[in-house]
Each structure stands twice: as structure tokens, then as C-alpha cells.
């Protein structure tokens, strides 16, 4: 797929990997639209990047996803690249935390349900483009789960499965399905975890942009690629590596 001249929507585009992707793709001459939950942060980001379009939206609310799709159909009828990047992560200890159940639904809605809903709502629009792609930011934890983030891992594994199945359904169309599988990355999502070993989001974005031009279906930047190789040979060793991470 070409890496310039696209019209792109990136969910979760006000920080972390999403913001890095927006900057990298905008620099390549693409038209970029982003979403974010925090209106003030979104306003600041758009002030720094006046050529971008922004939508303040909370993906936890299913109706908001459909409202976003309606706005995109009106504002960006030439949309040809959808990047489902927004994510939510909570640490869970089910034996100790009596409130864990209250956080399960928000995680599943943002990480799994929202990208599926948004994809299906925008599918007719994307299929109109001669060349289009839909991208899902999953996680290395979707392949090798970490016990302290069970719902996040499960939701990302589910999203990966959806991406694979959707790709098969769309194999005879103009619409490609891609998966971005980042390792532990320096983002607000992981701010509570020690900095050691985290990948820079700009590096993740650079690898993605390069892979977009080379038509790779799955992009595993940095240590995610190594972990995948280890997991294929020894799943037990891969799990030990993940559990050893702080």
C-alpha cells in the first residue's frame, strides 16, 4: 500500500503509539484524523498540528462509536486507512480485588468491542476506495499473556483473532487487514511500569510505516518479534520471560 496521500483515522491518537503514528503518517503527506477521550488534550494536540482533524470520544460508550462513524462518513468520505489503536489496561488480582469486575467491561469495550463496531460501521466506506487498509493495534500480551493483565491480554488476543478472520473474509477485496503487535512501549498505558526495556513509540511508528509500504500483514516491532520467535519454539520460556517483566 502507498504510504502517502491517504486519508487516515487513528483512534487513541492523543498520546503514545497513536500520537506517534499520527505524526509519522502526517509527515509522509497523509491527511490525519485522530480521536481522544480528553477534550483538553485533544485541543492541545490539534493546536500543535492544525492540519489534523480531531474527535473527542469515549469508546467505552457503544453509541459513541456509531456517532464517530457517522461523523467520519460525512467529514472524510475518502477515508482509506483506519487504525484501531485506542486501548485500556488495568492490572487485576482477582483473589484480592473485589472491584475487579467493574473494570472488566470497560477494558473489553475499548480493546475489543469498539474496534469491531467501528470497523463494521466504516466497512462500506473503506470498500469504496481503490486501495484501503484497516489496522488493529494488538499486543505481545495477546500472544503471551501476563497474569497481572489477564483481561487486557484476553481482549487483545480476541482482537487478533478477529483481524485474522476478517482478513480471510476480505481476501478478494481492495481492503487489506493488518495487525500491529507492539512490545512493552513507553506510553501512558504503561506509565505505572518501570522504564527499563520499553520501546520508544516513535520507533514503533517508524516500523509500522515501513511495513505499510511493504504490504506486511503482521508487524511485530522490536522485542515483540523476538518474543514471537521464542513462543513458537518454547511457549513455557516465553511465558517465563513475560512474567519476569515488572
Active site residues: 152
The residue written with cell numbers 469495550 in the block is 109
Cβ–Cβ < 8 Å for 205, 198:
no
The most distant pair of C-alpha atoms in the chain lies apart, rounded to whole Å, by: 52
Rounded-to-integer distance, Cα 61 and Cα 17, Å: 22
Q: Which SS3 state, helix, strand or coil, does residue 69 take?
A: helix
Within 10 A of 9 (CB to CB), how many other CB atoms are there? 27
- 20 Cβ contact partners less than 8 Å away, ≥ 6 residues apart: 201, 202, 204, 205
Q: Which residue has the cell 487486557?
A: 152
Q: How far apart are CA 33 and CA 140, in angstroms?
A: 26
Q: Classify residue 214 as exposed, middle or buried by CB count within 10 Å of its CB (0-12, 13-18, 19+).
A: exposed
Amino acid at each position: 500500500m502507498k504510504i502517502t496521500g491517504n486519508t487516515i483515522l487513528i483512534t487513541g491518537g492523543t498520546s503514545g503509539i497513536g500520537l506517534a503514528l499520527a505524526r509519522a503518517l502526517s509527515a509522509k503527506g497523509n491527511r490525519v484524523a485522530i480521536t481522544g477521550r480528553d477534550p483538553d488534550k485533544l485541543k492541545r494536540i490539534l493546536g500543535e498540528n492544525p492540519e489534523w482533524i480531531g474527535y473527542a470520544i469515549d469508546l467505552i460508550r457503544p453509541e459513541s462509536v456509531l456517532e464517530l462513524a457517522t461523523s467520519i462518513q460525512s467529514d472524510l468520505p475518502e477515508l482509506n486507512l483506519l487504525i484501531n489503536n485506542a486501548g485500556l489496561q488495568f492490572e487485576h488480582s482477582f483473589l484480592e480485588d473485589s472491584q475487579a469486575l467493574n473494570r472488566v467491561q470497560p477494558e473489553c469495550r475499548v480493546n475489543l468491542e469498539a474496534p469491531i463496531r467501528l470497523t463494521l460501521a466504516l466497512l462500506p466506506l473503506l470498500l469504496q476506495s481503490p486501495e484501503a487498509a484497516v489496522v488493529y493495534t494488538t499486543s505481545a500480551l495477546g500472544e503471551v499473556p501476563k497474569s497481572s493483565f489477564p483481561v487486557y491480554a484476553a481482549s487483545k488476543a480476541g482482537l487478533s483473532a478477529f483481524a485474522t478472520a476478517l482478513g480471510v473474509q476480505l481476501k478478494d477485496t481492495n481492503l487489506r487487514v493488518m495487525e500491529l503487535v507492539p512490545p512493552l512501549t513507553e506510553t501512558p498505558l504503561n506509565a505505572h511500569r518501570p522504564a527499563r526495556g520499553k520501546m520508544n513509540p516513535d520507533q514503533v511508528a517508524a516500523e509500522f510505516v515501513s511495513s505499510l509500504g511493504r504490504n506486511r500483514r503482521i508487524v511485530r516491532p522490536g522485542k515483540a518479534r523476538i518474543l514471537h520467535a521464542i513462543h513458537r519454539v518454547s511457549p513455557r520460556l516465553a511465558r517465563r520471560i513475560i512474567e519476569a517483566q515488572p
